[in-house]
Amino acid sequence: MSKEPQRSFDISTGEIPNHLAIIMDGNGRWAEQRGLPRTVGHKQGVEAVREAVKAARDLGVKFLTLYSFSSENWSRPESEIKELFGLLRMFVRRDLADLHRNNVCIKIIGRKQGIPDDILSLLDEAQNLTQNNTEQTLIIAFNYGARDEITDAVKRITQEVSEGKLTLDDITNETVSNALDTCGIPDPDLLIRTSGEIRLSNFLLWQIAYSELVFLDCLWPDFTKNDLEEAVKIYQNRTRKFGGLVMETGS
């Protein structure tokens, strides 16, 4: 995939995305290209997660959302699902103390139905331990699907209307945003997808209405700090209009 033209400048002098979201795609293909089981790709993907979290924090990204396990991933073979759950257990148990020490707050978004009890306990532990941390917020989208999220938000709002807490005229964009899993979290400024695929895969569909989208060719296990900086440079070369016009000085 051709890359966008970039000006030559120090990344630190440009605007750093306040909220970065990543669709981590390509673990299976990475393994298959090497004649390895898909599970090896997922394990290598966890190492890329570790590097991405640190690299984003070093750049000054305050909110980082990772698409860890989608609601559609349940259609994968049971053995692969068990492996993904096992890797999440390993990540939380191995990295939670380090994330806490680095003042990272962990939040989980997505439905809880179907998730094993021990994983739910681990996720709750991670959130409770880090809830007062302020350096960075790491949002893990687990058993997450944007359509499910919006459907659940509609149900919550409908319930409040039926209870007389809201009228139809009270329902605004802000009302919907506050009913989503990401309530209180700013919308992403930049969304990155790896592996060369150009689609959103049911991820943060409401929240990315005005996000900048960058699609990278690298497979997720190969993702490095350099790839993150490349995406941020592309972001810094764009002009964000939010549906309006950018007026030249003096016009």
Report which listed range, 1-5, 87-91, 186-190, is most confident: 186-190
How far apart (Å, rounded) are the C-alpha atoms in residues 235 and 226? 14
Helix/strand/coil for 64:
strand
Q: Strands of 63-70's sheet, edge to edge?
A: 104-109, 136-144, 63-70, 19-23, 190-193, 212-215
Digit-coded pLDDT (tens) for 85-140: 888 888 888 999 999 999 999 999 999 998 999 999 999 999 999 999 999 999 99
Asked if pLDDT for residue 12 goes beyond 80, the answer is no
How far apart (Å, rounded) are the C-alpha atoms in residues 222 and 139? 21
Asked if pLDDT for residue 72 goes beyond 90, the answer is no
For the domain made up of 15-145+186-236, give the CATH fold. Answer: Undecaprenyl pyrophosphate synthetase (3.40.1180)
For CA atoms 161, 164, 170, 172, the dihedral sign is negative
* 103: annotated active-site residue: no
Q: What is the dihedral of CA 22, 28, 34, 39, to 10 degrees?
A: 110
Residue 65 burial (CB < 10 Å; 0-12/13-18/19+)? buried
* 73: annotated active-site residue: yes
Which of 10, 18, 25, 133 is catalytic? The answer is 25
Asked if pLDDT for residue 1 goes beyond 60, the answer is no
Digit-coded pLDDT (tens) for 136-162: 999 999 999 999 999 999 999 999 999
Digit-coded pLDDT (tens) for 105-118: 999 999 999 899 99
Which of 10, 18, 27, 73 is catalytic? The answer is 73
Q: Among 180, 187, 117, which Cα is nearest to 148's?
A: 180
Portion of the chain with pLDDT greater than 70, in percent:
93
What are residue 141's DSSP bridge partners?
A: 67, 109
Asked if pLDDT for residue 5 goes beyond 50, the answer is no
Sequence ranges of the domains in the chain: 15-145+186-236
Length in residues, the chain? 251
Range in 22-26, 43-47, 200-204, 245-249 with the lowest mean pLDDT: 245-249
